[in-house]
């Protein structure tokens, strides 16, 4: 079985909740209605033998409806093929079922999507922030989060004023030179 055959089987299983298939650079992406995403992913795991969740990512498509998209990158060791499953998430709802019970590796992926975009996963065993501290009031990967940063009232945090997020000491320089020249530590500090 290859990715196209797998996507056809998902379409047969879901019917009208199968919203489409895209083939780009030999990679198959399938779009599923959010109401059936757990059914589709369970089918992929148990019937089609996609036994590895490579990644789960949230995307903010600000200005589109639905605003958010969650992408599941699956791999089948049995068949040696990759499949991308996508679903939209409304801004008002921002909720999908957790797939930690299918793939334990989803635990940290779902926590990151929650932490960075505010997407929630019902049934997650420990849905809390993974990168930002508890009580942090913002979601840094949303497109309405300002690049100039936001002020913080927390004195124990390194930045009590607006923290710049573009450029900075941890960003590599755009050049065709090797890593030793691009790395921030190789730059001379401007005084």
pLDDT for 34 equals 95
Residue 43, in any domain of the structure = yes
Residue 191, in any domain of the structure = no
Whole-angstrom CA distances from 156 to 99, 148, 160, 161 are: 36, 20, 8, 12
Instruction: State whether 127 and 159 are in the same domain.
Output: no
Instruction: State whether 28 and 64 are in the same domain.
Output: yes
123-133 mean pLDDT: 92
CATH of the domain at 35: 3.30.460.80
What's the total number of domains in the chain? 2
**Residue 144 CB neighbours (<10 A):** 8
Instruction: State whether 168 and 132 are in the same domain.
Output: no
Instruction: State whether 159 and 115 are in the same domain.
Output: no
Instruction: State whether 56 and 150 are in the same domain.
Output: no
Domain that includes residue 165, residue range: 146-186
**What's this model's pTM, rounded to 2 decimal places?**
0.77
Mean pLDDT of the chain: 85
The pLDDT tens digits for 37-63 are 999 999 999 999 999 999 999 999 999
Instruction: State whether 98 and 125 are in the same domain.
Output: yes
pLDDT for 137 equals 82
pLDDT grade, residue 5 (50/70/90)? very high
The pLDDT tens digits for 30-41 are 999 999 999 999
The pLDDT tens digits for 156-185 are 555 555 555 444 555 556 667 766 666 555
Instruction: State whether 64 and 155 are in the same domain.
Output: no
Residue 79, in any domain of the structure = yes
Residue 108, in any domain of the structure = yes
pLDDT grade, residue 191 (50/70/90)? very low
pLDDT for 134 equals 82
Residue 77, in any domain of the structure = yes
Instruction: State whether 12 and 67 are in the same domain.
Output: yes
pLDDT grade, residue 126 (50/70/90)? very high
Instruction: State whether 82 and 105 are in the same domain.
Output: yes
């Amino acid at each position: 079985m290859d990715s196209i055959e797998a996507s056809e089987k998902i379409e047969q299983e879901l019917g009208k909740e199968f919203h489409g298939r895209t083939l780009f650079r030999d990679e198959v992406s399938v779009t599923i209605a959010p109401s059936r995403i757990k059914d589709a992913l369970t089918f992929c795991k148990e019937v089609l033998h996609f036994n590895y969740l490579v990644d789960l990512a949230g995307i903010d498509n600000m200005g589109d409806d639905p605003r958010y998209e969650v992408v599941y990158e699956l791999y089948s060791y049995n068949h040696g093929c990759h499949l991308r499953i996508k679903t939209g998430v409304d801004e008002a709802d921002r909720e999908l079922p957790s797939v930690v019970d299918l793939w334990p590796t989803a635990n940290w992926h779902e926590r990151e999507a929650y932490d960075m975009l505010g997407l929630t996963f019902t049934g997650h065993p420990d849905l809390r922030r993974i990168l930002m501290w508890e009580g942090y009031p913002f979601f840094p990967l949303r497109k309405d989060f300002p690049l100039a940063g936001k002020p913080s009232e927390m004195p124990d945090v390194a930045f009590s004023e607006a923290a710049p997020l573009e450029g900075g000491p941890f960003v590599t320089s755009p050049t065709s030179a090797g890593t030793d020249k691009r790395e921030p530590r190789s730059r001379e500090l401007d005084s």
